[in-house]
Amino acid sequence: MKISTSKSETMVLSQGTELLPPSLRHPHRHLDSEMVFRGTIKDAPNFDPSADAESLYNAMKGMGSDKEAILDLITSRSNAQRQEVIAAYKCTFGKDLIEDLKYELTGKFERLIVSLMRTPAYHDAKEIKDALKGAGTNEKSLIEILASRNNTQIHDMVQAYKDAYGRNMEEDVISDTSGHFKKMLVVLLQGTRDESGVVDGDLVEQDAQDLYAAGEEQWGTDEAKFIMILGNRSVTHLRMVFDAYEKIAEKSIEQSIKSELSGDFERLMLAVVQCIRSIPMFFAKRLYKSMKGLGTADNTLIRIMICRSEIDMLDIRECFRLGYEKSLYNMIKDDTSGDYKRTLLNLCGGDDDLAGEFFPEAAQIAYKMWEISSMTKVKLRPTIVPASNFDPAADAQALRKAMKGFGTDEDAIIDIVAHRSNAQRQEIRQTFKSLLGRDLMKDLKSELSKNLERLIIGLMLTPAEFDAKMMRKAIEGAGTDEHALIEILVTRSNEEIQAMNAAYQEAYKKSLESAIQSDTSGHFCRILVSLVQGAREEGPADFERANIDAQELADACNADSDDRVMKFMSILCTRSFPHLRKVFQEFVRFSNKDIEQIIKKEMSGDVKNAFYAIVRSVKNQPSYFADRLYKAMKGLGTDDRALIRIMVSRSEIDLFNIRKEFKETQDTSLHEFIQVETMIGDTSGDYRKTLLLLCGGED
């Protein structure tokens, strides 16, 4: 069965996806489709290259240069027009415009302006050359460029490389890389991906089965099969293969790549898959990673802003808005300065924080993201498991010995507590009292101090006791820790919430619900009271009801503030997570908006934070916790209470998954981040050591 995609894109989308409405349909702007330009930089009207050449000459003559005039002119001309200006400049003044710009400008601003003056092919060629030269290879640049360019762009780049450097790009890549990473780069350098727009339905099923057999189904991995299929099949074909693969493997192709491959080869294959799914989303992620945290990866930022400014920057902006908490415009504004910033903002073209409906590209991506979320079955993996050959009496005696006499053997305490499951720790608590007639918790509190004490005691409590204590800490005192209340109540199961309620009543002789009501107010209080009932529906999605819920949420967007919050609460706080995934997917179809964006734009304060946490948890709970961990440690000072709460509560559930999400989003491992961020104030290192043991290893 062959399917032509030239007449109707919906024929492809119908494979594993419900038909999208007309408002969400349009030809995909990807590697194998007819290019639809969605850039922010276009041909300037009434263009006069000689006049522009004279303006640039005047801006650079004399003492100093008029940088504002230079950047305004260059960022308001297309690349083709800039090439005409270069030629006119040489004809009129007998000088090389690029050399003059290099002489007059400095630093990142010079790099950005000069790069804008090169043709796309020569710019890519220079980036590849820079990635290969010197002592170390910049694998991330190689991956980004070769995974995202179409056949024509690759052919032009290879020729430009030969013209500029008199060398063969393929030979240079081969000499500078190795293994399967090298083989896949060579395949991509051929620029021979199928771009016919015709899909063989039988081959789709065969490729999906072959990928499964090459990885998940066998011991070891047939990397050559991954290279052959992902390096040659068309974009439309591969999207259908990915859908078919998820049905076979019950996990996404990305998850399989992460588990089957490693190193630069894994990163390259993930980049290829991300570009197959959505090039704008791929670049949105790259831009975010280039600016987050301390310092900016300016080469990456410059490269992407230039190479996409005439292609799909509008879609990248929209994907950025979909994926992150601020617009691309505002992130650039906050992360850069001076003329460099002004030039980047001109290339960006506008601020999307106040934008309304999706561009079609982002609507399709949002719809598909929710579908993938609902189809993928994630195996949750802990970092702490029951110790083998467990002897509670021996552990009790060893703990007593570590605390007896002058001084405390913290290493011995940490080694036992951090290597036992919670159930085993409860046996140790009981045995300690039975054998020694002492209360282990009281002994630990008297011997330990500060964050190490809080962490060890947290590990020794039952999960219900620990959650109850964390809720108490969030409520008591002068200020309420609303983020902690939200995090706990949103992420716990009905059973866990009910156990926490009982533990709270037992420990504090007061119901948790009444404590919440006395410390919060308004809609936020009602949301927390709804969640603390531990009565969320369980089970799979009801498709018919999901459509009704989605329509009601879409209608509520036009209601007054109170009615909107109450409608959102009635659905988000009561429906099962699988059902909500389907609701949020269909919400895109009914409203042409994403539920996260509606919450961020239409709601405020703690109500917004609570609903946003629910949506993030529904979409990907390990990712939500990874973000919470990052925020707990980034910047000046660490939120140790949040750090301890998450590391303790997730260590026997999904901390391994959280680690993977942390590495994916932050480009550094959770292990490394903890090592660096907890050094200040932890002079002994025991607190950090315990956290690292809970983390379970380096990624």
Distance in angstroms (rounded) separating the CA atoms of residues 272 and 253: 11
Tokens of 288: 């975010």
Q: Each residue of 476-521: pLDDT tens digit?
A: 877 899 999 999 999 999 999 999 999 999 999 999 999 999 999 9
Distance in angstroms (rounded) separating the CA atoms of residues 675 and 691: 9
Q: Which residues contact 124 (CB under 8 A, 6 or more apart)?
A: 145, 149, 153, 156, 157, 160, 307
What DSSP state is assigned to residue 216?
T
Q: According to the model, what pLDDT value does residue 362 have? A: 67
- More confident position, 34 or 467: 467
Q: How far is CA 231 from the centre of its chain?
A: 24
8 A C-beta contact, residue 320 and residue 335: no
Distance in angstroms (rounded) separating the CA atoms of residues 7 and 288: 35
Distance in angstroms (rounded) separating the CA atoms of residues 236 and 252: 17
8 A C-beta contact, residue 550 and residue 583: yes
Q: According to the model, what pLDDT value does residue 174 have? A: 96
3-state secondary structure 658-695: HHHHHHHHHCCCHHHHHHHHCCCCCCCCHHHHHHHHHH
- CB-based burial label for 333 (10 Å; 0-12, 13-18, 19+): middle
Q: According to the model, what pLDDT value does residue 197 have? A: 81
Distance in angstroms (rounded) separating the CA atoms of residues 52 and 68: 14
- Residue 312 to residues 22, 141, 179, 304, 398, Cα–Cα distance (Å): 21, 19, 33, 11, 63
Distance in angstroms (rounded) separating the CA atoms of residues 457 and 644: 10
Q: How far is CA 580 from the centre of its chain?
A: 21
Dihedral pair phi/psi, residue 535, rounded to 5°: -125, 25
Q: According to the model, what pLDDT value does residue 666 have? A: 84
Distance in angstroms (rounded) separating the CA atoms of residues 244 and 210: 11
Q: How confident is the model at residue 396 (pLDDT cuts 50, 70, 90)?
A: very high
Q: Mean pLDDT across the stretch 158-179?
A: 96
Q: Mean pLDDT across the stretch 248-262?
A: 89
Using CA atoms in the order 369, 374, 376, 379, what is the torsion angle rounded to 10 degrees? 120
Q: Mean pLDDT across the stretch 434-442?
A: 96
- More confident position, 8 or 344: 344
Site of tokens 């052919």:
155
The one-letter code for the residue type at 235 is: V
Residue 26 has pLDDT above 70, yes or no: no
Q: Each residue of 621-642: pLDDT tens digit?
A: 999 999 999 999 987 778 999 9
Distance in angstroms (rounded) separating the CA atoms of residues 382 and 677: 23
Site of tokens 């999400």:
661
Q: How confident is the model at residue 172 (pLDDT cuts 50, 70, 90)?
A: very high
Site of tokens 């866990």:
496
Q: Mean pLDDT across the stretch 324-344?
A: 92
Site of tokens 């032009």:
156
Tokens of 83: 């090439």
Residue 65 has pLDDT above 60, yes or no: yes
Residue 30 has pLDDT above 90, yes or no: no
Dihedral pair phi/psi, residue 2, rounded to 5°: -115, 140
Q: Which residues contact 683 (CB under 8 A, 6 or more apart)?
A: none
- Mean per-residue pLDDT of the chain: 90
8 A C-beta contact, residue 536 and residue 495: no
Q: According to the model, what pLDDT value does residue 125 have? A: 97
Per cent of the chain over pLDDT 90 is: 75
Residue 682 has pLDDT above 70, yes or no: no
Q: According to the model, what pLDDT value does residue 586 have? A: 94
Q: How far is CA 619 from the centre of its chain?
A: 12
Q: How confident is the model at residue 19 (pLDDT cuts 50, 70, 90)?
A: very low
Number of neighbouring beta carbons within 10 Å of residue 128: 24
8 A C-beta contact, residue 360 and residue 128: no
Per DSSP bridges, beta strands 198-200 and 2-4 are antiparallel
Distance in angstroms (rounded) separating the CA atoms of residues 73 and 55: 9
Q: How confident is the model at residue 32 (pLDDT cuts 50, 70, 90)?
A: very low
Residue 331 has pLDDT above 70, yes or no: yes
In sequence order, the β-bridge partners of residue 200 are 2
Q: Supply angle C-alpha 324, 328, 329, rounded to 5.
A: 140
8 A C-beta contact, residue 459 and residue 418: yes
Select from 285, 249, 254, 252 the least CA-distant residue to 268. Answer: 254
Measured between its terminal Cα atoms, the distance across the chain in Å is 43
Q: Mean pLDDT across the stretch 410-419?
A: 97
Listed range (150-164, 208-222, 463-477) with the worst mean pLDDT = 208-222
In sequence order, the β-bridge partners of residue 2 are 200
Give the DSSP letter string of 424-473.
HHHHHHHHHHHHHSS-HHHHHHHH--HHHHHHHHHHHS-HHHHHHHHHHH
Question: Helix crossing, 577-591 with 595-602: angle to 10°?
Answer: 80
Listed range (108-112, 136-140, 448-452, 608-612) with the worst mean pLDDT = 136-140
Listed range (31-40, 119-128, 193-202, 220-229) with the worst mean pLDDT = 31-40
- Residue 98 to residues 56, 110, 111, 357, 382, Cα–Cα distance (Å): 11, 10, 11, 41, 56
Q: According to the model, what pLDDT value does residue 179 have? A: 96
Q: According to the model, what pLDDT value does residue 370 have? A: 81
Give the DSSP letter string of 324-379.
SSS-HHHHHHHH--HHHHHHHHHHH----TT--SPPHHHHHHHHHHHHHHHH----
Q: According to the model, what pLDDT value does residue 367 have? A: 79
8 A C-beta contact, residue 412 and residue 397: no
Q: According to the model, what pLDDT value does residue 366 have? A: 77
